[in-house]
Chains A and B, each alone.
Chain A
Amino acid sequence: MLSPENPHPAEPEIETAHPQEFVEQLRCIADTLPSRINIDAEGVEQGLAKLVLTLIEFIRRLLEKQAVRRMEGGDLSPEQIEELGLALMRLEAKLQELKTQFGLADEDLNLDLGPIGRLI
């Protein structure tokens, strides 16, 4: 505990009136962590696949958002909405297939967007 007699902190204190709620949410975050950190070596193909799929996943999510915006904007006909939705569905399914093929989990394609935070 930080005080004039002890200006140097020892253990960090953690304080909340709602421990269970926070435990739940923090668990969600912990669940997305990889099980090993391997800075040196990812297999070549997996490394490249991860790179490529991450970019595609990013674009896919942008496209989804864009589609929803247009749908909201009211300038799409019902047929266009249906077509768009089907195309995005197929893209999502295809990407899922590729992820499985390369043994990548959703979390592996998570992008750290840096200072902008989460654009997606």
Chain B
Amino acid sequence: MSSPFDQIIITESGESLEESELSLLETLDHVLNRGLVIAGEITISVADIDLIFLGLNVMLSSVETAQEVLRRREQKSE
């Protein structure tokens, strides 16, 4: 399985390749997809159970620009 992080890792401290790849992967697992989110999130819940988190930013921009696209299409067909 190839990964975007398949690279030759050159280390200075003399640790094995395996150790430095492990260190990188473990770092990635901590850093990515965690932390404060400025755009905010919304949840969709059913019966008080949180089911889906959605990026608010994606939703808002999609809806706003979708309306614009529809408007432009309407204008074109006139």
Contacts and interface: CB of A to CB of B under 8 A. Distances in A.
Interface of A: 12, 14, 16, 19-20, 22-23, 26-31, 33, 35, 39-42, 44, 47-48, 50-51, 54-55, 58, 111-116, 119
A114 B33 CA distance: 12
A19 B54 contact: no
Contacts of B66: 44, 48
B57 A14 contact: no
Contacts, number: 86
B25 to A, nearest CB: 4
A26 B27 CA distance: 10
Interface string B13-34: 0000011011101111100110
B54 A23 contact: no
A57 B28 CA distance: 27
A39 B57 contact: yes
Where chain A touches its partner, the secondary structure class is helix
Give the bracket for the number of chain B residues in contact with chain A.
Answer: 20 to 34
B52 A30 contact: no
A39 B39 contact: yes
A116 B23 CA distance: 29
Contacts of A42: 58, 61-62
B37 to A, nearest CB: 9
A51 B21 contact: no
B3 interface: yes
A55 B23 CA distance: 35
B52 A23 contact: no
B28 A30 contact: yes
B61 A23 contact: no
B4 A30 contact: yes
B65 interface: yes
